[in-house]
Structure 1
Amino acid sequence: MHIRTLNALAAALAVVGLAACSGMGAKPAATFSQASLPDAVKVPAGHKVAMETVGTGDITYECRVKANAAGQYEWFFVGPDAKLWDRGGKQVGKYYGPPATWESADGSKVTATQVAVAPNGSGNIPHQLVKANPATGAGAMQNVSYIQRVATQGGVAPAAACGASNMGQKQVVKYQADYIFYRAG
């Protein structure tokens, strides 16, 4: 009986020891760093990352007459249609417009006003900083103060000709971007 008690105690201590060691060396998930971004699209001090997502989807453009330039045409940004994924690959929301709207899977959503953009290389839509409007619905978008669009890939206006012969034609282009949500704090 005494040996069984000692074996049980040894087994219990081994389990406790393994549990204590399991967290050793584990690094907490890194929070997004703004360090490499142009100053124009950095979130002001006093705001912290609340959520990081990757948006994948489409941007629609339409061939229209260029504003204030009769007889000239351009591809006009109509709006996005993308799914938002967390860093683990789970869909957590969607992004669509107009107006530009980020909607969480919990039903809360937020629109925003552009503050600044900065180039992100040829063939990529620019980095962007927007100031969030008050959210509707309780959930993940509640109290979001700013949203950054970074790590953009694709999404620029089509290279196809845009003129009188195809005015009104729409083109859809693929894109991907990280959307980083901030809250005051």
Structure 2
Amino acid sequence: MAAMAAIALSACASNMSAPAMPFSQASLPAAVQVPAGHQVAMETVGVGQITYECRAMKDMAGHEGVFVGPDAQLMSRRGQQVGKYYGPPATWESMDGSKLTATQLAVAPGAAGSIPLQLVKANPAMGMGAMQGVTYIQRVATQGGVAPAMLCDASKMGSKEIVKYQADYIFWKAV
């Protein structure tokens, strides 16, 4: 029985250490590529929702659905929750309590019906942990999340619609 347990543990350990295919940004548009001198620190899959609200347009010429913020779980490639992503302001938070905000540098079109790819420059992390030292975050492999084609007029002011989305968030650190 002990031998069977040892074999099972050995199989689990070898499965856990099997190298995953590292993320490559070679196929991404140049605008959302991380500059040389950085390496992938963590790959996550964000699964959640984006809220849009009916508001008056800035030029007061009508109404539009405006991005309010995201609410997503950040999952490891193995399916375990490792953090969350929420806003405003856009905040990535690890399960260890470390978190950061970032400034958008660039976007590029995603797949049809999906939010754009994005590159952000991380602000210094708050708290010690996984987010410490992160320099850039890429949003890639986006699915869904675009503003709904809701009828937005004066009678709908303040109404909100929630849209499901998924995206990979790739965290980079300086080498």
The TM-score with structure 1 as length reference comes to 0.84
Counterpart for residue 37 of structure 1:
28
Cα separation, 2, equivalents of 1:27 and 1:106: 24
Give ranges in structure 1 of 5+ residues lacking alignment: 1-18
Is the partner of 2:58 in helix, strand or coil? coil
Counterpart for residue 48 of structure 2:
57
Q: CA deviation at 1:27?
A: 5.9
Q: Letter of the aligned partner of 2:29 in structure 1?
A: P
Pairwise CA RMSD: 1.5
Q: 1:158 aligns with which of 148, 163, 166?
A: 148
Cα separation, 1, equivalents of 2:142 and 2:81: 18
Q: CA deviation at 1:165?
A: 1.3
Q: Does 1:66 align with 2:52?
A: no
Cα separation, 2, equivalents of 1:46 and 1:27: 26
Q: CA deviation at 1:121?
A: 2.3
| CA deviation string 1:108-163 (max 9, x = no partner) | 00100000000012210000000000000000000000000000000000111111
Cα separation, 1, equivalents of 2:35 and 2:164: 30
Deviating 4+ runs (over 2 angstroms):
none
Q: Does 1:110 align with 2:100?
A: yes
Is the radius of gyration larger for structure 1 or structure 2?
Answer: 1
| CA deviation string 1:10-42 (max 9, x = no partner) | xxxxxxxxx9xxx7xx96222110011000000
Q: Letter of the aligned partner of 2:40 in structure 1?
A: V
Cα separation, 1, equivalents of 2:20 and 2:158: 46
Aligned length: 162
Contact 2:111 2:143 (C-alpha < 8 Å) held by counterparts: no
Is the partner of 1:162 in helix, strand or coil? coil
Is the partner of 1:183 in helix, strand or coil? strand
Aligned residue runs from structure 1 range 76-91, under 5 A: 76-91=66-81
| CA deviation string 1:37-70 (max 9, x = no partner) | 00000000000000000000010000001112x1
Cα separation, 2, equivalents of 1:75 and 1:53: 28
Is the partner of 1:31 in helix, strand or coil? coil
Indicate how the Cα distance of structure 1 residues 53 and 63 shifts in structure 2: closer, same or farther if over 3 A, else same. same
Cα separation, 2, equivalents of 1:28 and 1:55: 22
Indicate how the Cα distance of structure 1 residues 107 and 27 shifts in structure 2: closer, same or farther if over 3 A, else same. closer
Q: 1:129 aligns with which of 119, 125, 133?
A: 119
